[in-house]
Structure 1
């Protein structure tokens, strides 16, 4: 057995669309959870609290996985970026949803900005890096 990677290409257009839809659903769930848990604090033994915005790293890594998986369904970078576009739209909807719901989900702080940039970088990286 060689170390060669085998990529299956004998799928229909409907299967590709279905795959991208599921990746987009994962992107929406991901952005919601990343925003909700962005303000995580850990209480240290002395009683001090420390902000741990681990979802910034998760946004980078998970969007990278989503985009790389989308590239298996379509070699076209525009189509492979669909989960990233959905993630961005979800982030913006949560950010501007305060006008509709009255609840501010995306905070006005540097962690929210870092989450946005990490998500963008993770999603764009596989597209610009090539194979």
Structure 2
């Protein structure tokens, strides 16, 4: 039998969700920065190794599942996912400010966005088992 602790104040829940949102923001920044990772094989040939796509899927799932522990309201539990999406859009469209393209127009960027969305949405859409 699973025990879920509901003995926390609103301020503790808000602070917990704040830290999850901050984690989502740092996560998307690191995922975008390392999306263009290449590894060199022993023969000298380099191949793309976009491991941040898998990390976005798994880490956003962890953030959303943890947010569900702090609140029963899905709209509030989606806060880390919304922050991740806004961070991704911000990194995509800030080229006018710096001139640097952080999120390139390539399939890896699209896969990162889809993986982040799927990972964050899955725990929110999955029905909770009440015990």
1:30-41 equivalence runs, <5 A? 30-41=27-38
1:113 matched to 2:110? The reply is: yes
Q: How far apart are 1:100 and its partner, in Å?
A: 1.2
Deviation at 1:127, TM superposition (A): 1.0
1:66-92 per-residue CA deviation (whole Å, 9 max, x = no partner) reads 000000000111000000000000000
Distance in 2 (alpha carbons) for counterparts of 1:47 and 1:130? 48
Q: Which residue of 2 aligns with 1:51?
A: 48
* Shift, 1:102, TM fit: 1.0
Aligned-partner Cα distance in 1 for 2:97–2:118 = 29
Q: Secondary structure at the match of 1:20?
A: helix
Matched pairs, number:
128
What is the TM-score with the length of structure 2 in the denominator? 0.96
29-38 vs 94-103, which deviates more?
94-103
Q: Distance in 2 between matches of 1:23 and 1:16?
A: 11
Aligned partner of 1:18 among 10, 15, 19:
15
Equivalent residue for 2:99?
A: 102
CA distance in 1: counterparts of 2:118 and 2:63, whole angstroms: 12
Counterpart Cα distance in 2 of 1:51 and 1:64: 24
User: Tell me, what secondary structure is at the counterpart of 2:47?
Assistant: strand
Looking at structure 2, the residues matched to 22 and 115 of structure 1 have their Cα atoms a distance apart, in angstroms, of 22
Match of 1:50, SS state, is strand
- Output the TM-score relative to the length of structure 1: 0.96
Residue ranges of structure 2 left out of the alignment (5+ in a row): none
CA distance in 2, matches of 1:6, 1:37: 38
1:93 matched to 2:90: yes
Question: Structure 1 residue runs of 4+, over 2 Å off?
Answer: none
Distance 1:99 1:5 in 2: 50
